[in-house]
Protein backbone atom coordinates (compact mmCIF):
# COMPACT_ATOMS: atom_id res chain seq x y z
CA UNK A 1 0.00 0.00 0.00
CA UNK A 2 1.36 3.39 -0.95
CA UNK A 3 2.17 5.72 1.94
CA UNK A 4 0.88 8.81 0.12
CA UNK A 5 -2.02 9.75 -2.12
CA UNK A 6 -1.15 13.39 -2.67
CA UNK A 7 -2.79 15.13 -5.61
CA UNK A 8 0.06 15.45 -8.12
CA UNK A 9 -1.84 18.13 -10.00
CA UNK A 10 -2.15 20.22 -6.82
CA UNK A 11 1.58 19.87 -6.24
CA UNK A 12 2.37 20.85 -9.81
CA UNK A 13 0.20 23.98 -9.51
CA UNK A 14 2.43 25.22 -6.70
CA UNK A 15 5.81 23.73 -7.48
CA UNK A 16 7.19 26.16 -10.05
CA UNK A 17 6.13 29.21 -8.06
CA UNK A 18 7.46 28.05 -4.69
CA UNK A 19 10.71 26.70 -6.15
CA UNK A 20 11.37 29.97 -7.97
CA UNK A 21 10.64 31.98 -4.84
CA UNK A 22 12.82 29.76 -2.67
CA UNK A 23 15.72 30.10 -5.10
CA UNK A 24 15.42 33.90 -4.97
CA UNK A 25 15.41 33.84 -1.17
CA UNK A 26 18.45 31.58 -1.05
CA UNK A 27 20.40 34.01 -3.22
CA UNK A 28 20.03 36.66 -0.51
CA UNK A 29 22.84 35.95 1.95
CA UNK A 30 21.42 36.34 5.46
CA UNK A 31 24.18 34.57 7.36
CA UNK A 32 23.77 35.26 11.08
CA UNK A 33 25.83 37.06 12.20
CA UNK A 34 25.49 39.72 10.81
CA UNK A 35 22.11 38.70 9.40
CA UNK A 36 21.14 41.50 7.01
CA UNK A 37 17.60 40.08 7.02
CA UNK A 38 16.14 43.45 5.99
CA UNK A 39 17.10 42.53 2.43
CA UNK A 40 14.72 39.58 2.57
CA UNK A 41 12.00 41.72 4.19
CA UNK A 42 12.28 44.24 1.35
CA UNK A 43 12.25 41.50 -1.26
CA UNK A 44 9.11 39.92 0.23
CA UNK A 45 7.38 43.29 0.43
CA UNK A 46 8.00 43.71 -3.28
CA UNK A 47 6.94 40.14 -4.11
CA UNK A 48 3.63 40.49 -2.28
CA UNK A 49 3.05 43.96 -3.74
CA UNK A 50 3.20 42.43 -7.23
CA UNK A 51 0.21 40.33 -6.15
CA UNK A 52 -1.72 43.25 -4.67
CA UNK A 53 -0.87 42.53 -1.03
CA UNK A 54 0.74 44.99 1.37
CA UNK A 55 2.66 44.20 4.52
CA UNK A 56 5.01 46.10 6.83
CA UNK A 57 8.74 45.98 7.47
CA UNK A 58 9.49 46.34 11.17
CA UNK A 59 12.20 45.75 13.73
CA UNK A 60 15.54 46.87 15.05
CA UNK A 61 18.36 47.34 14.22
CA UNK A 62 17.87 48.77 10.75
CA UNK A 63 19.62 45.92 8.90
CA UNK A 64 17.79 43.18 10.86
CA UNK A 65 14.12 43.81 10.21
CA UNK A 66 11.20 41.44 9.66
CA UNK A 67 8.23 41.38 7.30
CA UNK A 68 4.63 40.96 8.52
CA UNK A 69 1.43 40.81 6.47
CA UNK A 70 -2.17 40.35 7.66
CA UNK A 71 -4.81 38.72 5.49
CA UNK A 72 -8.40 39.08 6.68
CA UNK A 73 -10.97 36.44 5.81
CA UNK A 74 -14.52 37.09 4.72
CA UNK A 75 -15.91 36.04 8.11
CA UNK A 76 -14.84 36.65 11.71
CA UNK A 77 -12.83 33.98 13.48
CA UNK A 78 -9.50 33.20 15.16
CA UNK A 79 -6.06 34.25 13.98
CA UNK A 80 -3.30 31.94 12.80
CA UNK A 81 0.27 33.12 12.24
CA UNK A 82 2.43 31.37 9.65
CA UNK A 83 5.94 31.97 10.95
CA UNK A 84 9.40 31.26 9.54
CA UNK A 85 12.77 32.89 10.06
CA UNK A 86 14.90 34.43 7.33
CA UNK A 87 18.40 34.17 8.83
CA UNK A 88 20.71 31.22 8.23
CA UNK A 89 23.82 29.75 9.83
CA UNK A 90 27.24 30.24 8.19
CA UNK A 91 28.30 28.13 5.21
CA UNK A 92 31.87 27.43 4.09
CA UNK A 93 31.52 27.50 0.33
CA UNK A 94 34.69 25.51 -0.35
CA UNK A 95 33.11 22.43 1.27
CA UNK A 96 29.90 22.52 -0.78
CA UNK A 97 29.18 20.69 -4.04
CA UNK A 98 26.97 23.64 -5.08
CA UNK A 99 27.62 27.27 -4.05
CA UNK A 100 25.57 27.78 -0.87
CA UNK A 101 24.03 31.09 -1.97
CA UNK A 102 23.37 30.29 -5.61
CA UNK A 103 19.84 28.97 -5.09
CA UNK A 104 20.30 26.39 -7.83
CA UNK A 105 17.91 23.59 -8.76
CA UNK A 106 19.72 20.36 -9.62
CA UNK A 107 18.18 16.92 -10.11
CA UNK A 108 14.88 17.92 -8.43
CA UNK A 109 16.53 19.47 -5.37
CA UNK A 110 16.79 23.14 -4.47
CA UNK A 111 20.30 23.67 -3.09
CA UNK A 112 21.49 26.36 -0.69
CA UNK A 113 21.99 27.47 2.87
CA UNK A 114 18.51 27.78 4.29
CA UNK A 115 16.86 25.40 1.81
CA UNK A 116 15.65 23.23 4.72
CA UNK A 117 16.25 25.62 7.65
CA UNK A 118 14.06 27.38 7.04
CA UNK A 119 13.66 29.56 3.95
CA UNK A 120 11.65 26.68 2.50
CA UNK A 121 8.83 27.63 4.89
CA UNK A 122 9.33 31.34 4.20
CA UNK A 123 8.59 30.51 0.55
CA UNK A 124 5.90 27.88 1.18
CA UNK A 125 3.93 30.09 3.56
CA UNK A 126 4.18 33.03 1.14
CA UNK A 127 2.75 31.00 -1.72
CA UNK A 128 -0.03 29.70 0.55
CA UNK A 129 -0.99 33.23 1.60
CA UNK A 130 -0.92 34.52 -1.98
CA UNK A 131 -3.22 31.71 -3.10
CA UNK A 132 -5.60 32.25 -0.17
CA UNK A 133 -5.88 35.91 -1.15
CA UNK A 134 -6.33 35.16 -4.85
CA UNK A 135 -9.08 32.61 -4.23
CA UNK A 136 -11.31 35.09 -2.41
CA UNK A 137 -10.20 34.82 1.23
CA UNK A 138 -13.07 32.43 1.97
CA UNK A 139 -12.10 31.61 5.53
CA UNK A 140 -13.25 32.69 8.98
CA UNK A 141 -10.57 34.70 10.72
CA UNK A 142 -7.17 36.21 10.01
CA UNK A 143 -3.93 34.85 8.61
CA UNK A 144 -0.71 36.57 9.65
CA UNK A 145 2.37 35.93 7.53
CA UNK A 146 5.58 36.63 9.47
CA UNK A 147 9.08 36.25 8.01
CA UNK A 148 11.33 37.13 10.92
CA UNK A 149 14.98 37.86 11.57
CA UNK A 150 17.46 36.49 14.08
CA UNK A 151 16.24 33.05 15.08
CA UNK A 152 19.61 31.31 14.91
CA UNK A 153 21.04 33.51 17.67
CA UNK A 154 17.88 35.25 18.85
CA UNK A 155 19.68 38.07 20.62
CA UNK A 156 18.54 41.34 19.10
CA UNK A 157 15.70 41.13 16.61
CA UNK A 158 13.03 39.01 14.99
CA UNK A 159 10.21 37.20 16.77
CA UNK A 160 11.48 38.15 20.21
CA UNK A 161 11.46 41.85 19.28
CA UNK A 162 8.05 41.63 17.59
CA UNK A 163 6.30 39.92 20.49
CA UNK A 164 7.77 42.42 22.96
CA UNK A 165 7.50 45.64 20.92
CA UNK A 166 4.77 45.10 18.31
CA UNK A 167 2.44 42.45 19.73
CA UNK A 168 -0.41 44.11 17.84
CA UNK A 169 1.07 42.82 14.59
CA UNK A 170 1.53 39.16 15.56
CA UNK A 171 -0.93 38.42 18.37
CA UNK A 172 -2.74 35.22 17.43
CA UNK A 173 -4.61 32.17 18.65
CA UNK A 174 -2.57 29.66 16.66
CA UNK A 175 1.02 29.63 15.44
CA UNK A 176 2.46 27.36 12.74
CA UNK A 177 6.24 27.36 12.80
CA UNK A 178 9.28 25.25 11.99
CA UNK A 179 10.40 22.33 14.13
CA UNK A 180 8.30 19.34 13.09
CA UNK A 181 6.84 17.56 10.10
CA UNK A 182 9.71 15.21 9.37
CA UNK A 183 8.61 11.60 9.18
CA UNK A 184 9.98 8.21 10.22
CA UNK A 185 9.07 5.01 8.41
CA UNK A 186 7.57 2.57 10.90
CA UNK A 187 7.94 -1.23 10.54
CA UNK A 188 4.20 -1.64 9.91
CA UNK A 189 4.34 0.60 6.82
CA UNK A 190 3.02 3.73 8.45
CA UNK A 191 4.78 7.07 8.63
CA UNK A 192 5.24 8.75 11.99
CA UNK A 193 5.12 12.55 11.65
CA UNK A 194 6.46 14.57 14.58
CA UNK A 195 4.25 17.40 15.82
CA UNK A 196 6.38 19.65 18.00
CA UNK A 197 4.08 21.00 20.68
CA UNK A 198 6.79 22.33 23.01
CA UNK A 199 10.50 22.78 23.38
CA UNK A 200 13.26 22.55 25.87
CA UNK A 201 14.87 25.65 27.31
CA UNK A 202 18.50 26.73 27.21
CA UNK A 203 20.72 27.04 30.24
CA UNK A 204 24.08 27.72 28.63
CA UNK A 205 26.96 28.39 30.98
CA UNK A 206 30.67 29.09 31.21
CA UNK A 207 33.04 27.34 33.59
CA UNK A 208 36.17 29.37 34.40
CA UNK A 209 38.99 27.15 35.61
CA UNK A 210 41.87 28.75 37.52
CA UNK A 211 45.36 27.31 37.70
CA UNK A 212 49.02 28.10 38.16
CA UNK A 213 51.00 29.95 35.53
CA UNK A 214 54.53 29.15 34.50
CA UNK A 215 56.87 27.94 31.79
CA UNK A 216 55.56 24.81 30.11
CA UNK A 217 59.05 23.29 29.81
CA UNK A 218 58.65 22.19 33.44
CA UNK A 219 55.67 19.82 33.83
CA UNK A 220 53.00 21.13 36.17
CA UNK A 221 51.73 18.11 38.07
CA UNK A 222 49.08 19.96 40.04
CA UNK A 223 47.13 23.13 39.34
CA UNK A 224 47.24 22.80 35.54
CA UNK A 225 44.10 24.63 34.41
CA UNK A 226 44.09 22.85 31.04
CA UNK A 227 44.18 19.40 32.63
CA UNK A 228 41.53 20.39 35.16
CA UNK A 229 39.31 21.72 32.35
CA UNK A 230 39.74 18.40 30.56
CA UNK A 231 38.56 16.64 33.70
CA UNK A 232 35.45 18.80 33.78
CA UNK A 233 34.74 18.08 30.12
CA UNK A 234 35.05 14.34 30.66
CA UNK A 235 32.87 14.45 33.77
CA UNK A 236 30.10 16.36 31.98
CA UNK A 237 30.31 14.03 28.99
CA UNK A 238 30.10 10.88 31.10
CA UNK A 239 27.40 12.09 33.49
CA UNK A 240 23.89 10.72 33.13
CA UNK A 241 21.44 13.33 34.47
CA UNK A 242 18.32 12.53 36.44
CA UNK A 243 15.47 11.27 34.29
CA UNK A 244 12.47 13.52 33.72
CA UNK A 245 9.38 12.21 31.92
CA UNK A 246 7.71 15.64 31.84
CA UNK A 247 8.41 16.12 28.12
CA UNK A 248 8.21 12.47 27.04
CA UNK A 249 5.08 11.59 25.05
CA UNK A 250 3.93 8.02 25.72
CA UNK A 251 2.29 7.95 22.29
CA UNK A 252 5.57 8.94 20.63
CA UNK A 253 7.49 6.21 22.48
CA UNK A 254 4.85 3.57 21.75
CA UNK A 255 4.89 4.35 18.03
CA UNK A 256 8.67 4.35 17.79
CA UNK A 257 9.49 1.30 19.90
CA UNK A 258 8.14 -2.13 18.93
CA UNK A 259 9.35 -4.09 21.96
CA UNK A 260 6.66 -3.98 24.67
CA UNK A 261 9.10 -4.47 27.54
CA UNK A 262 11.43 -1.79 26.21
CA UNK A 263 8.49 0.61 25.96
CA UNK A 264 7.52 -0.12 29.55
CA UNK A 265 11.07 0.59 30.74
CA UNK A 266 11.28 3.81 28.73
CA UNK A 267 8.12 5.10 30.39
CA UNK A 268 9.28 4.24 33.93
CA UNK A 269 11.49 6.88 35.57
CA UNK A 270 13.43 4.19 37.46
CA UNK A 271 14.40 2.17 34.38
CA UNK A 272 14.43 4.70 31.54
CA UNK A 273 18.13 5.57 31.72
CA UNK A 274 19.23 1.97 31.40
CA UNK A 275 16.77 1.43 28.56
CA UNK A 276 18.17 4.45 26.71
CA UNK A 277 21.70 3.09 27.06
CA UNK A 278 20.55 -0.17 25.49
CA UNK A 279 18.86 1.68 22.65
CA UNK A 280 22.06 3.57 21.91
CA UNK A 281 23.99 0.32 21.79
CA UNK A 282 21.46 -1.46 19.56
CA UNK A 283 19.80 1.28 17.50
CA UNK A 284 21.61 4.59 17.26
CA UNK A 285 18.69 6.37 15.59
CA UNK A 286 16.18 5.58 18.35
CA UNK A 287 18.68 6.54 21.02
CA UNK A 288 19.41 9.81 19.27
CA UNK A 289 15.71 10.62 18.92
CA UNK A 290 14.66 9.76 22.46
CA UNK A 291 17.52 10.47 24.87
CA UNK A 292 17.45 14.31 24.67
CA UNK A 293 13.78 14.25 25.74
CA UNK A 294 14.54 12.65 29.11
CA UNK A 295 16.17 15.49 30.99
CA UNK A 296 19.04 17.94 31.05
CA UNK A 297 21.76 17.59 28.41
CA UNK A 298 25.36 18.87 28.64
CA UNK A 299 27.49 19.48 25.52
CA UNK A 300 30.87 21.16 26.04
CA UNK A 301 31.56 23.06 22.83
CA UNK A 302 34.25 25.75 23.16
CA UNK A 303 37.45 26.11 25.18
CA UNK A 304 39.31 29.42 25.55
CA UNK A 305 42.68 29.93 27.24
CA UNK A 306 44.17 33.06 28.78
CA UNK A 307 47.43 32.19 27.02
CA UNK A 308 47.99 32.01 23.30
CA UNK A 309 51.55 30.72 23.63
CA UNK A 310 52.19 26.99 23.49
CA UNK A 311 55.04 27.22 26.03
CA UNK A 312 53.01 28.94 28.76
CA UNK A 313 50.66 27.39 31.33
CA UNK A 314 47.49 29.52 31.22
CA UNK A 315 46.21 30.82 34.52
CA UNK A 316 42.60 30.54 33.36
CA UNK A 317 40.73 28.31 30.94
CA UNK A 318 37.14 29.01 29.95
CA UNK A 319 34.88 26.13 29.06
CA UNK A 320 31.54 26.89 27.34
CA UNK A 321 28.73 24.38 27.65
CA UNK A 322 25.50 24.16 25.68
CA UNK A 323 22.85 22.92 28.08
CA UNK A 324 19.18 22.19 27.36
CA UNK A 325 16.59 21.71 30.08
CA UNK A 326 13.05 20.30 29.86
CA UNK A 327 10.08 22.66 29.91
CA UNK A 328 9.18 23.36 33.53
CA UNK A 329 12.76 23.27 34.82
CA UNK A 330 14.92 26.25 35.82
CA UNK A 331 18.60 26.99 36.16
CA UNK A 332 18.38 25.87 39.80
CA UNK A 333 17.46 22.38 38.60
CA UNK A 334 20.35 22.47 36.16
CA UNK A 335 22.81 23.68 38.81
CA UNK A 336 21.97 20.66 40.95
CA UNK A 337 22.83 18.39 38.01
CA UNK A 338 26.09 20.28 37.35
CA UNK A 339 27.15 19.94 40.97
CA UNK A 340 26.38 16.22 40.87
CA UNK A 341 28.31 15.77 37.63
CA UNK A 342 31.41 17.60 38.86
CA UNK A 343 31.44 16.33 42.43
CA UNK A 344 34.93 15.13 43.25
CA UNK A 345 36.50 16.44 40.04
CA UNK A 346 39.80 18.19 40.71
CA UNK A 347 39.99 21.88 39.90
CA UNK A 348 39.26 25.42 41.02
CA UNK A 349 36.30 26.48 38.91
CA UNK A 350 33.40 28.92 38.94
CA UNK A 351 30.17 29.02 36.93
CA UNK A 352 28.50 31.85 35.02
CA UNK A 353 25.19 31.62 33.16
CA UNK A 354 25.13 33.49 29.86
CA UNK A 355 21.97 32.33 28.08
CA UNK A 356 18.98 31.10 30.05
CA UNK A 357 15.61 30.74 28.33
CA UNK A 358 13.03 28.54 29.98
CA UNK A 359 11.25 25.95 27.87
CA UNK A 360 7.51 25.94 27.36
CA UNK A 361 4.77 23.97 25.63
CA UNK A 362 1.26 24.13 24.21
CA UNK A 363 -1.64 21.74 24.70
CA UNK A 364 -1.27 18.61 22.58
CA UNK A 365 -4.93 18.30 21.63
CA UNK A 366 -7.68 20.57 20.34
CA UNK A 367 -8.83 22.09 17.04
CA UNK A 368 -5.32 22.89 15.78
CA UNK A 369 -3.96 19.38 16.31
CA UNK A 370 -7.13 17.93 14.80
CA UNK A 371 -6.83 20.13 11.71
CA UNK A 372 -3.20 19.11 11.18
CA UNK A 373 -4.08 15.42 11.39
CA UNK A 374 -7.05 15.86 9.07
CA UNK A 375 -5.13 17.66 6.33
CA UNK A 376 -2.17 15.29 6.56
CA UNK A 377 -4.51 12.31 6.37
CA UNK A 378 -5.87 13.47 3.02
CA UNK A 379 -2.46 13.23 1.44
CA UNK A 380 -0.70 10.60 3.58
CA UNK A 381 -3.31 8.00 4.55
CA UNK A 382 -0.63 5.89 6.23
CA UNK A 383 0.61 8.87 8.22
CA UNK A 384 0.13 9.26 11.95
CA UNK A 385 0.93 12.34 14.01
CA UNK A 386 2.51 12.15 17.47
CA UNK A 387 3.29 15.05 19.79
CA UNK A 388 6.85 15.56 20.95
CA UNK A 389 9.13 18.35 22.13
CA UNK A 390 11.83 20.15 20.21
CA UNK A 391 15.16 19.45 21.89
CA UNK A 392 16.63 22.58 20.33
CA UNK A 393 14.97 26.00 20.19
CA UNK A 394 12.54 27.82 17.93
CA UNK A 395 10.80 31.18 17.95
CA UNK A 396 7.60 29.49 19.16
CA UNK A 397 9.04 30.00 22.64
CA UNK A 398 8.73 33.78 22.42
CA UNK A 399 5.12 33.56 21.23
CA UNK A 400 4.11 31.29 24.11
CA UNK A 401 5.72 33.70 26.59
CA UNK A 402 4.02 36.76 25.06
CA UNK A 403 0.61 35.17 24.46
CA UNK A 404 0.01 32.53 27.17
CA UNK A 405 -3.23 31.26 25.58
CA UNK A 406 -1.66 30.58 22.20
CA UNK A 407 -1.37 27.10 20.71
CA UNK A 408 2.00 27.06 18.94
CA UNK A 409 3.15 24.04 16.93
CA UNK A 410 6.11 23.21 14.76
CA UNK A 411 4.98 21.37 11.62
CA UNK A 412 6.20 21.64 8.03
CA UNK A 413 5.54 18.18 6.58
CA UNK A 414 7.77 16.33 4.13
CA UNK A 415 6.52 14.02 1.43
CA UNK A 416 9.59 12.57 -0.32
CA UNK A 417 12.53 12.49 2.08
CA UNK A 418 12.38 10.98 5.56
CA UNK A 419 13.46 12.55 8.84
CA UNK A 420 16.92 10.97 9.23
CA UNK A 421 17.85 12.19 5.74
CA UNK A 422 16.58 15.69 6.39
CA UNK A 423 18.08 15.91 9.92
CA UNK A 424 21.58 15.37 8.56
CA UNK A 425 21.31 18.44 6.33
CA UNK A 426 20.44 20.97 9.02
CA UNK A 427 23.42 23.26 9.61
CA UNK A 428 25.48 20.96 7.38
CA UNK A 429 27.15 21.17 3.97
CA UNK A 430 25.11 20.64 0.80
CA UNK A 431 21.81 21.65 2.39
CA UNK A 432 18.93 21.05 -0.03
CA UNK A 433 15.24 20.16 -0.28
CA UNK A 434 13.32 18.14 -2.86
CA UNK A 435 11.08 20.25 -5.07
CA UNK A 436 8.04 18.13 -4.18
CA UNK A 437 8.67 18.58 -0.47
CA UNK A 438 8.62 22.37 -0.59
CA UNK A 439 5.60 22.26 -2.90
CA UNK A 440 3.82 19.98 -0.41
CA UNK A 441 4.64 22.37 2.43
CA UNK A 442 2.92 25.18 0.47
CA UNK A 443 -0.10 22.98 -0.26
CA UNK A 444 -0.32 21.85 3.36
CA UNK A 445 -0.18 25.38 4.82
CA UNK A 446 -2.91 26.58 2.46
CA UNK A 447 -5.21 23.64 3.23
CA UNK A 448 -4.52 23.86 6.96
CA UNK A 449 -5.77 27.46 7.04
CA UNK A 450 -8.94 26.43 5.23
CA UNK A 451 -9.50 23.47 7.59
CA UNK A 452 -8.82 25.38 10.80
CA UNK A 453 -10.64 28.58 9.84
CA UNK A 454 -13.78 27.01 8.39
Instruction: Give the CATH number for residue 324.
Output: 3.30.70.360
Q: 268 lies in a domain?
A: no
pLDDT for residue 73 is more than 70: yes
Does residue 147 share a domain with residue 76?
A: yes
Give one DSSP letter per residue of 55-103, joined into a string: -EEE-SSTTS-EEEEEEE-SEEEEEEEEEEE--B----GGG-SS-TTS-
Instruction: Give the CATH number for residue 104.
Output: 3.40.630.10
Structural domain count, the chain: 2
107 burial level (CB within 10 Å; 0-12, 13-18, 19+): exposed
Does residue 322 share a domain with residue 376?
A: no
Does residue 348 share a domain with residue 373?
A: no
Q: 270 lies in a domain?
A: no
pLDDT per residue as tens digits for the range 169-184: 999 999 999 999 999 9
Does residue 177 share a domain with residue 47?
A: yes
Does residue 314 share a domain with residue 221?
A: yes
Does residue 400 share a domain with residue 370?
A: yes
Can you tell me the distance from the alpha carbon of 178 to that of 170, in angstroms, rounded to the nearest whole number? 16
Q: 274 lies in a domain?
A: no
Does residue 30 share a domain with residue 67?
A: yes
Instruction: Give mean pLDDT, residues 349-374.
Output: 97
Does residue 141 share a domain with residue 125?
A: yes
Does residue 182 share a domain with residue 57?
A: yes
Does residue 127 share a domain with residue 30?
A: yes
H-run or E-run covering 30:
none
Q: 272 lies in a domain?
A: no
| Residues 208, 296 contacting (CB under 8 angstroms) | no
Can you tell me the distance from the alpha carbon of 312 to that of 316, in angstroms, rounded to the nearest whole number? 11
pLDDT for residue 1 is more than 50: no
pLDDT category at 2 given cuts 50, 70, 90 is low
Say what the pLDDT of residue 6 is. 87
Average pLDDT, the chain: 96
pLDDT for residue 237 is more than 90: yes
- The share of the chain scoring above pLDDT 70, in percent, equals 100
φ/ψ region of 145 (left if φ > 0, alpha if ψ in -120 to 50, else beta) reads: beta
Domain residue limits at 217? 201-242+295-357
| Residues 432, 97 contacting (CB under 8 angstroms) | no
Say what the pLDDT of residue 285 is. 87
Does residue 118 share a domain with residue 152?
A: yes
Cα 48 off chain centre by = 26
Indicate the residue among 357, 389, 408 that finishes a domain.
357
Indicate the residue among 357, 376, 397 that finishes a domain.
357
How far the first Cα of the chain sits from its last, in Å, is 31
Q: 234 lies in a domain?
A: yes
pLDDT per residue as tens digits for the range 414-443: 999 999 999 999 999 999 999 999 999 999
Can you tell me the distance from the alpha carbon of 152 to that of 117, in angstroms, rounded to the nearest whole number? 10
Can you tell me the distance from the alpha carbon of 205 to that of 321, in angstroms, rounded to the nearest whole number? 6
Q: State pTM to two decimals.
A: 0.94
Does residue 378 share a domain with residue 347?
A: no
Amino acid sequence: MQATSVDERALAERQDEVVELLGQLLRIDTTNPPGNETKVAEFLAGWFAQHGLEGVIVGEPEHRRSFVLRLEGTRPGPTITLLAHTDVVPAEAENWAVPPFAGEVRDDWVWGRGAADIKNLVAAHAVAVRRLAASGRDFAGTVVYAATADEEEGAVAGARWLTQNRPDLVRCDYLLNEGGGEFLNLPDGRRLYELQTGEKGTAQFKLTVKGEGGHASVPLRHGNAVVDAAGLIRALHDYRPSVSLATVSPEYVELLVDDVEMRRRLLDVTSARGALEELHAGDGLLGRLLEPLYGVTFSPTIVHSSSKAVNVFPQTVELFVDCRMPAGQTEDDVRAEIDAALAGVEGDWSLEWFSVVRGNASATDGPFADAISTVLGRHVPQGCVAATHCVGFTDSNWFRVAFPDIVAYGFGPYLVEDGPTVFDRYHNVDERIHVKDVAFQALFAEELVRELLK
